[in-house]
Every structure is written in structure tokens, then in C-alpha cells.
Amino acid sequence: MKRLVSVFSVILLMFGYSAWAAEPSRLTIAAAADLKFAMEEIARAFRKEHPEATLDLVTGSSGRFYEQIVQAAPFDLFFSADVKFPQQLKEQRLTASEVRLYARGRIVLWSARMNAADMKLSDLAKPDITKIAIANPKHAPYGMRAEEALKKAGLWPKVEKKLVFGENVAQTAQFAETGAAEVGIIALSLAESPMLKPKGGYSLIPENLHSPLDQGYVILRRAEDNSSAKAFADFVSGEAGRTIFRRYGFVLPVESSSSQ
């Protein structure tokens, strides 16, 4: 069963002091926050086929993970919500594989307090909406796309003072779920998750308002000789992984790898 990473363990990971040196059957995976539920399901399915493997899954902001990996954080695989981050790692010779696309994400308006299913982006300017949660666009891809959409729609000056920033898109969803914000711009994959789907509705934000959320992953240099890392990468790109991604609303790439 997947190891639950303790707060102490996460601190060790961030500073590169992991006592879990590169064991062939142990993987430490950094995954974008929009993958929280999908990746947990994938990890369970993988573990059934590979009972010898131990998976340590850490979710968070793709931009933050990129910074930590550059500083030698001990991750074996990196699943980013924006393919540019693993591509930049490859350019810096910090990877052990090609960058592979695994999905395209979507952003949505989601609310537990309002009928978001009938909501349009322009509704965010209405006075009865006082708090809007988005992920921090400085380092979170879903926040970057939310900012792009609001600016392209001409809404940024009207809503900027209403914005509440989450560290990542999962925390952003939490703000909307708990009522800290009336509405959140979050990942479709989270809106379709078993945690949020029963609690609120959503409406898709048109893709022509922002650049694509092409998401990619890579095996990192630390796992160059880790057979479990390659097995997990192949599992994610295989039918089992693709089926799970599809269930969470991800659009699957036609090709499994990006050109480098």
C-alpha cells in the first residue's frame, strides 16, 4: 500500500536529506496538485501489479517542484501540470528519460455555494461575488492559465482585488470548498474527484482564453538505474493509466512523447 508521507518526511525531501536512498523498488514521485486523486488511484493500480514497489507520492505546485529538483530534491519522477518544467530540467541534464506528455488539463469555475454549472467567467465581476480563489500564478500552471483567461476576457482589473491565492490548485479548491471564496478557478480533474464532485458544480472555461495546459512527466537523473521508475512511467502511459486520467476529465495526447 502506498506510503503516506509524513510532514517530517516531506521536510527531509525538500532539503535533500532523504534516508531513503535510491532503492530499486522505492519511488518518490513529485506530482502536480491537479493529479492528487488521479495519481493516488494510479499508484494503487500499479501497486497491485508490482507488489514489491513502494511509492511515496508528494503533490504540490509544479513550479515549486521544479525549483526543488534543480536544488537536488530527491525525487525519482516528476509529473508537471505544465510540460515546460520537465523540458527545462531536460535541458539542464537533470533527467534520465525523454519528456512524455500524459494529458491536457482544463480549468473550470467551481463553487460549493453558488450554481457554477450556469456560471460564465463574466459573472465573476458581479458584486455578490467578493472572493475568487485561484492558484498563485507565479509558480502554479493552473493559476497562470486562470490569470491568462481573466486578462483575455478583460476581467482582470474588475476582479483583481477579489482574488485569493492558493499555493497550488488543490489548496485553491479547498478555499472554494470551505467557503473562504465563493468561487474557485480550479482543475477539472479536481472538480471531477470523489471529494468535490458531490459538493458543487462547475462550468468549463473556454480553452481559447488561455494557452494549453499540456502536462508532461519525466524520469529524473536520480532514478536513471531504477527499474521501478521505468515500470511506473510505462504504466502511466499504458491503457490503465490513460483510463484513469480520462475518468478525471483529462484530454489524452495522441502521441505519448513530446519532441525534444
Task: Please write the tens of the pLDDT for every residue from 192-216.
Answer: 999 999 999 999 999 999 999 999 9
Task: Please write the tens of the pLDDT for every residue from 17-30.
Answer: 343 344 567 899 99
pLDDT value for 84? 97
Nearest-angstrom CA–CA distance, 148 and 139: 14
pLDDT value for 26? 86
For the chain, the DSSP string reads -PBPPPHHHHHHHHHT--S----TTEEEEEEEGGGHHHHHHHHHHHHHH-TT-EEEEEEE-HHHHHHHHHTT---SEEEESSTHHHHHHHHTT-BSS--EEEEEE-EEEEESSS-GGG--GGGGGSTT---EEEE-TTT-HHHHHHHHHHHHTT-HHHHGGGEEEESSHHHHHHHHHHTSSSEEEEEHHHHTSTTTTTT-EEEEPPGGGS--EEEEEEEBGGGTT-HHHHHHHHHHHSHHHHHHHHHTTPBPPSSSS---
pLDDT value for 141? 97
Question: How far, in Å, are 16, 53, 136 from residue 184 at the CA level?
Answer: 34, 36, 12
**How does strand 77-80 pair with strand 26-32?**
parallel
Q: Tens-digit pLDDT profile for the chain (260 aa)?
A: 434 343 334 434 444 434 334 456 789 999 999 999 999 999 999 999 999 889 999 999 999 999 999 999 999 999 999 999 999 999 999 999 999 999 999 999 999 999 999 999 999 999 999 999 999 999 999 999 999 999 999 999 999 999 999 999 999 999 999 999 999 999 999 999 999 999 999 999 999 999 999 999 999 999 999 999 999 999 999 999 999 999 999 999 863 333 33
Residue 107, phi then psi, degrees to nearest 5: -105, 145
Nearest-angstrom CA–CA distance, 91 and 228: 24
Model-level pTM greater than 0.95? no
